[in-house]
Amino acid sequence: MDRDAIKGALPSNEEFRAAAEYRKKEIVEGFIGAILDALVQEGREPDRWEAEHIASAIGFDLVGWYHAAITKSDLSMTPSDERAKPETWIRADDTATIFALREGLDYAAGKPARNF
């Protein structure tokens, strides 16, 4: 996964902070979608680390916590050799699939941005 290329598509922190809530939501959903697309291009399902962080990011998107969603999405791309106890994050039968995560993202994308 080309982490730098995916992160490079994000606006600067200043631009993100200045964006309207609906735009922040679009940015977050595009970022998560790009990560899922990268997994598809690699021809694999997410491991437990990736799936749990992406699922959390989708949840944060749903409640309008867009900075947290970006952070969790970014954490999902942490290389396995940089994670604590990487052997514990292997894919298991109950790990979310790309299909399930994409369904969750599509659901979140269908909800309006919160007006704070």
Mean pLDDT per 10-residue interval, the chain, length 116 residues: 93 96 97 98 96 98 97 95 82 93 98 86
Contact 25, 66 (CB under 8 A): yes
pLDDT of residue 91: 85
Rounded Cα distance between 101 and 80, Å, is: 20
How confident is the model at residue 116, as a pLDDT? Answer: 67
Q: Give the Cα-Cα-Cα angle 79, 49, 74 (nearest 5 degrees).
A: 60
Whole-prediction pTM: 0.93
Backbone angles phi, psi at 97, to 5 degrees: -95, 170
Using CA atoms, how far apart are residues 15 and 64, in angstroms rounded to an integer?
Answer: 17
Residues 6+ apart with CB under 8 A from 106: none
